[in-house]
């Protein structure tokens, strides 16, 4: 047996403390295979050693009936299970953007269909450094190529998402991907093994050395200067994944599958140990049966490999051939590699010898650390903003055009036009018009989905910034007529062993938990991604929120663009003199500072309910939440976001007395811009009053193709459209 040295266990990401804990659990020196298995299962990516304590804050119940599985979760709607999850593939994408993003898509899709749900949509939330850096442009193009290449080929539409650019992401991009699936409630499966003697079947692609140590080496350590980790990035095959989807759903439909789990991070180790632990049983496997595409693979390599398009099934004894035949018909490997046993251990055999024998619970219940945290010294300074010395714009027209042209605000058609968002023909609202909307076939209901996070806000005030991420995601759904139902999160932060980094994580978790409880939202699934740092420091704290909502009647869907001439333009919610953390400050004054906007969760909920009621009653023609860029950007997008309408707006009054730049570009929360026929105005006012929501009539839509806001802004829509629509492409040249 190989003698385990400090150099060996540290190379696998294990600290002295963790190695000592392993010795205590086993009461002996581990084999090299056991050490490898424990290293990946005890990595932060799989084991959540630093984060698990705080994840318990998140509510698991909300206004809809909630499902919580081992790898994904969801809600119940009319007997349908809507299953969804978001995960990160940040570090692999920084190393190899195309394959990193592609395999991120493949992995999240597998988490959905292994629950028994057919994947129906993808969304992606991306963060890169500034686009004036050629390498950041390379990363962006590679990631988009990976998403479209895999998603388009596998036949799952990419229907929404977001892209932001901040210097903090240079050297460590973020690629967060979300998948939604649907199934009948009684068709779902869990990632659990049960039934002593039942078969353990390996299905899918062959195992290679790609991805070995991916979760422990890449996702549980910082990038160092000039570090090369390309061998740990997996290689994906979307055509094989498509076959795997169909074969798996067919296998589940037989009723012979007891449990099923994707071989994602930590590969065979994760799938066997977590299936055994969740089911309260043991699993024994023999590696000689594992399909492989490389010679002389060692047992520790086979157990650590993260080769893509693979999964483990627990199948009723005597039904192995039925299941294997299904996969064979789809051109896939399917072979019995082991069985369920009663002793609650994971045993691994190789060449007739047992090379690993570990209690399943020891693998899946690593130590939980109570990490120290401390507010960074610079927080008080970055919250300071003296508006009295901040110069006002000399030209509000050019100011608006510059903000509309910024990479964060500009239209991303270059991105979403590369995605097939209409495959499966469920997409009702196409990208660029608000939250994604997907019909539920044979039902009048529809699903809405969005992703959201203003990481700049979270950098300045993590507790409130995280709350705003939840609130804004909910507003996105409200605007299309959906009742927000539940969230999945992808929590991206720096090194948890640094107290100032962990303070951000703790504060964001507390903010998300409070906002979700107040708004009646459950957290059904998610992912934590730590160690997102480069030699210059950590990324902005980025607790990405993926939210799903339910539309009662697909005929009542709303979008953000003005549609009829002469309609009233109304603001719901309060506008204040709030410029801290705004896009305006960053783009025009090159400043990231100032306290971020206030958030009154009670007003937020009342305003959302008021707008949703107005949409359900058919009172309004458009609704758009007021967020990045403020009121002027919101109005501009309402004018130009749907080319077939392109109506102008005449704004002759505004709702507060404050600095003109704050009035136009401030990002006060809990606000909606709506348009409606004058005949409905009395009822709209009544709903606003019943919900105690401020309402301001500010102007009208017009056939004159320009945006006029008092005496500050007077711009032809063609000029607005050109700046907003064309600028993003220009950054990539």
Task: List, by residue number, the catalytic residues.
Answer: 45, 89
In the chain, DSSP finds a helix count (H) and a strand count (E) of 25, 28
Give alpha helix (H) positions in 406-493. Answer: 413-416, 455-460, 462-479
Parallel/antiparallel/unpaired status of strands 483-492 and 522-529: parallel
Which residue, 634, 447, 461, is CA-closest to 548?
447
Handedness of CA 355, 358, 360, 366 (dihedral sign): negative
C-alpha distance across the termini of the chain, in Å: 57
Handedness of CA 360, 364, 367, 368 (dihedral sign): negative
Q: Report in angstroms the alpha-carbon separations of 225 from 90, 100, 222, 372, 618.
A: 17, 20, 10, 27, 57
Answer yes or no: are the C-beta atoms of 632 and 571 closer than 8 Å: no
φ/ψ bin of 170: left (φ > 0), alpha (ψ from -120 to 50), beta (otherwise) = beta
Answer yes or no: are the C-beta atoms of 458 and 508 closer than 8 Å: yes
Which residue, 528, 588, 585, 569, is CA-closest to 399?
588
- The 3-state secondary structure of 306-321 reads CCCCEEEEEECCCCHH
83: which 2 tokens? 């299953």
Which residue, 576, 172, 537, 599, is CA-closest to 378?
537
d(CA 528, CA 64): 24
Q: Report in angstroms the alpha-carbon separations of 648 from 64, 407, 528, 637, 720.
A: 40, 24, 44, 11, 11
Could you tell me where the beta strands, DSSP code E, fall in 106-165?
118-128, 158-165
d(CA 105, CA 2): 37
Q: Report in angstroms the alpha-carbon separations of 673 from 609, 627, 630.
A: 14, 11, 11
Helix, strand, or coil here: 605? helix
Answer yes or no: are the C-beta atoms of 576 and 596 closer than 8 Å: no
Within its chain, how far is the Cα of 53 from the centroid?
A: 21
- Supply φ then ψ for residue 535, to 5 degrees: -60, -20
d(CA 559, CA 642): 9
d(CA 287, CA 353): 10
DSSP per-residue letters across 502-569 = HHHHHHHHHHHHHHHHHHT-EEEEEEEE---EETTEEPPPEEEEEEEEEES-GGG---SS--STT-EE
Could you tell me where the beta strands, DSSP code E, fall in 288-445?
310-315, 333-341, 345-350, 353-359, 427-429, 436-439
458: which 2 tokens? 């979270």
DSSP state of 207: B
d(CA 31, CA 354): 10
Instruction: Find the angle CA(387)-CA(389)-CA(394) to the nearest 5 degrees.
Output: 90
Helix, strand, or coil here: 198? coil
Residues in the chain: 733
685: which 2 tokens? 């006012």
């Amino acid at each position: 047996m190989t003698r385990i040295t400090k150099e060996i266990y540290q190379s696998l990401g294990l600290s002295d403390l963790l190695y000592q804990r392993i010795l205590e659990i086993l009461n002996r020196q581990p084999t090299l295979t056991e050490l490898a298995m424990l290293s990946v299962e005890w990595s932060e990516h799989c084991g959540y050693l630093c984060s698990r304590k705080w994840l318990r804050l998140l509510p698991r119940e909300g206004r809809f009936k909630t499902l919580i599985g081992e790898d994904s979760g969801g809600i119940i709607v009319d007997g349908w299970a809507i299953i969804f999850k978001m995960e990160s593939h940040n570090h692999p994408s920084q190393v190899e953007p195309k394959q990193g993003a592609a395999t991120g898509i493949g992995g999240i899709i597998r988490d959905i269909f292994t629950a028994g749900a057919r994947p129906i949509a993808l969304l992606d939330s991306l963060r890169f450094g500034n686009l004036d850096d050629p390498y950041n442009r390379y990363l962006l193009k590679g990631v988009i190529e990976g998403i479209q290449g895999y998603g388009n080929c596998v036949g799952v539409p990419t229907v929404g998402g977001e892209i932001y650019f901040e210097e903090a992401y240079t050297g460590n991009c973020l690629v967060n991907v979300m998948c939604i699936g649907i199934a009948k409630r009684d068709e779902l499966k869990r990632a659990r093994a049960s039934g002593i003697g039942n078969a353990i079947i390996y299905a899918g692609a062959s195992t290679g050395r790609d991805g070995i140590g991916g979760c422990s080496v890449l996702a549980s350590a910082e990038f160092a200067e000039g570090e090369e980790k390309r061998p740990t990035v997996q290689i994906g095959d979307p055509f094989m994944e498509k076959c795997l989807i169909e074969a798996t759903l067919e296998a589940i439909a037989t009723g012979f599958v007891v449990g099923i789990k994707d071989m994602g991070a930590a590969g065979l180790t994760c799938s066997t140990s977590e299936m055994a632990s969740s089911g309260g049983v043991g699993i024994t496997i023999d590696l000689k049966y594992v399909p492989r595409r490389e010679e002389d693979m060692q047992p520790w390599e086979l157990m650590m490999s993260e080769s893509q398009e693979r999964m483990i099934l627990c199948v009723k004894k005597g039904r192995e051939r039925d299941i294997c035949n299904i996969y064979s018909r789809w051109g896939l490997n399917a072979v019995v590699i082991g069985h369920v046993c009663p002793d609650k251990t994971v045993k691994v055999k190789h060449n007739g010898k047992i090379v690993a024998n570990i209690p399943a619970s020891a693998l899946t219940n690593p130590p939980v650390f109570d990490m120290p945290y401390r507010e960074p010294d610079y927080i008080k300074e970055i919250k300071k903003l003296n508006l009295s010395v901040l110069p006002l714009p000399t030209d509000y027209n050019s100011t608006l055009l510059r903000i509309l042209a910024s990479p964060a605000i500009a239209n991303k058609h270059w991105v979403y036009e590369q995605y097939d968002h209409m495959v499966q023909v469920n997409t009702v609202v196409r990208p660029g018009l608000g939250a994604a909307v997907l019909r539920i076939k044979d039902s009048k209901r529809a699903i809405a989905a969005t992703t959201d996070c203003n990481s700049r806000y979270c950098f300045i005030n993590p507790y409130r910034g995280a709350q705003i991420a939840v609130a804004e995601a909910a507003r996105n759904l409200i605007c299309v007529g959906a009742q927000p139902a539940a969230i999945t999160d992808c929590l991206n932060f720096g090194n948890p062993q640094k107290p100032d980094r962990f303070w951000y994580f703790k504060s964001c978790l507390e903010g998300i938990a409070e906002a979700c409880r107040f708004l009646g939202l459950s957290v059904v699934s998610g992912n934590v991604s730590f160690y997102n740092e480069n030699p210059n420091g950590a990324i902005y704290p980025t607790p990405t929120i993926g939210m799903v909502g339910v539309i009662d009647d697909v005929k009542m869907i709303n979008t953000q663009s003005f549609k009829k001439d002469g309609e009233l333009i109304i603001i719901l919610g309060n506008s204040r003199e709030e410029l801290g953390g705004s896009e305006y400050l960053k783009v025009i004054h090159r400043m990231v500072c100032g306290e971020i906007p206030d958030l009154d969760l009670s007003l937020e909920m009342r305003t959302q309910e008021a707008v949703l009621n107005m949409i359900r009653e058919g009172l309004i023609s458009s609704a758009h939440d007021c967020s990045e860029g403020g009121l002027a950007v919101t109005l501009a997008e309402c004018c130009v976001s749907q080319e077939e309408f392109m109506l102008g707006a005449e704004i002759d009054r505004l709702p507060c007395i404050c600095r003109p730049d704050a009035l136009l570009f401030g990002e006060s929360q809990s606000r909606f811009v709506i348009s409606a026929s004058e005949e409905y105005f009395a009822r709209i006012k009544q709903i606003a009053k019943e919900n105690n929501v401020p309402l301001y009539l500010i102007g009208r839509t017009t056939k004159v193709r320009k945006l006029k806001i008092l005496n500050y802004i007077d711009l032809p829509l063609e000029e607005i459209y050109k700046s907003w629509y064309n600028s993003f492409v220009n950054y990539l040249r």
